[in-house]
A and B are shown apart, each in its own frame.
Chain A
Amino acid sequence: EVQLVQSGAEVKKPGESLNISCKASGYSFTNYWIAWVRQMPGKGLEWMGIIYPGDSDTRYSPSFQGQVTISADKSISTAYLQWSSLKASDTAMYYCARQTSTMVRGVTSNWFDPWGQGTLVTVSS
């Protein structure tokens, strides 16, 4: 079974650093992109960025570039989302998801499946 299991909820103070994880199993970790998605309280889903664990190629949404770091350790099939200095506005649920891509009749399709169970990050003084 393809599965993504995320690390547990975190409560941090502003200015602190944080590293949350997403462990993959049931498939070849190095062959699929892994994305991170944010959901702020009462809001919708936002794509933060994506990494290809095979070669660590990483892309960020402009909204998150410079705000977070995405990395992966293929030796343990785990992707990470890191903050060096948290802000209260980083309070949100964070999901990782595996991206599948196909090309049919010249049209590329990308979708997220499966998703991790989410990691709730609370930043408060």
Chain B
Amino acid sequence: QSVLTQPPSASGTPGQRVTISCSGSSSNIGSNTVNWYQHLPGKAPKLLIHSDNQRPSGVPDRFSGSKSGTSASLAISGLQSEDEADYYCAAWDDSLNGPVFGGGTKLTVL
């Protein structure tokens, strides 16, 4: 059972916009920033969004992050086939004194 809650799956067709939610609590998302990672099978996880809504250089602006209260969202616009991957949210947890992750959302591009 992951500390942060994500839907296990999401899907969309090429060109569509999809959002993935991430729900936490006051000890993590409610008081700390959220990061998003993309994990392609057989590859190292890749940082997509840090500090709630900041994109590292090289990450397309099709990816965006937002946060409100104890929930966060990742939005992917102009969906492409190469976006098919697992997506994880993460946030520092003050009770754990370390980061906690969501259970991951498997994105399928139909």
Q: Are A47 and B101 in contact (CB under 8 A)?
A: yes
From the candidates A61, A108, A114, name the one contacting B98 in the complex (CB within 8 A): A61
Range class of the B interface residue count: 20 to 34
Q: Mark A89-125, 1 if CB is under 8 A from B, else 0.
A: 0000001010010101001111111111110000000
Q: Given the known A-B contacts A44-B103, A45-B104, A50-B98, are A111 and B35 also in contact in the complex, defined by CB atoms under 8 Å? A: yes
| Chain A residues positioned under 8 Å from B90 (CB to CB) | 45, 111-112
What's the nearest-Cβ distance from chain B to residue A114, in Å? 7
Q: Is B56 an interface residue (CB 8 A)?
A: yes
Given the known inter-chain contacts A47-B99, A50-B98, A61-B98, please indicate yes or no for A104 contacting B35, CB distance below 8 A: no
CA distance A61 to B104 in the complex (A): 20
Expressed in whole angstroms, the Cα–Cα distance for A36 and B96 within the complex equals 15
A111 and B50 within 8 A (CB)? yes
Q: How far is the CA of A42 from the CA of B109 in the complex (A)?
A: 20
Q: State which size class the interface on A falls in.
A: 20 to 34
Residue from A95, A109, A111 having most chain B Cβ neighbours under 10 A? A111
Q: Which residues of B contact A49 (CB under 8 A)?
A: 98
**B88 engages A44 (CB within 8 Å):** yes
Contact between B101 and A44, CB atoms less than 8 A apart = yes
Of A44, A95, A109, A118, the residue contacting B51 (CB under 8 A) is A109
Q: Which residues of A contact B (CB under 8 A)?
A: 35, 43-47, 49-50, 59, 61-62, 95, 97, 100, 102, 104, 107-118
A sample of 30 inter-chain contacts (CB < 8 A) reads: A35-B99, A44-B88, A44-B102, A44-B103, A45-B45, A45-B101, A46-B101, A47-B96, A47-B100, A47-B101, A59-B98, A61-B96, A61-B98, A95-B44, A97-B45, A102-B51, A108-B32, A109-B32, A109-B33, A109-B51, A110-B99, A111-B90, A112-B45, A112-B99, A113-B50, A114-B44, A114-B46, A115-B44, A115-B45, A116-B44
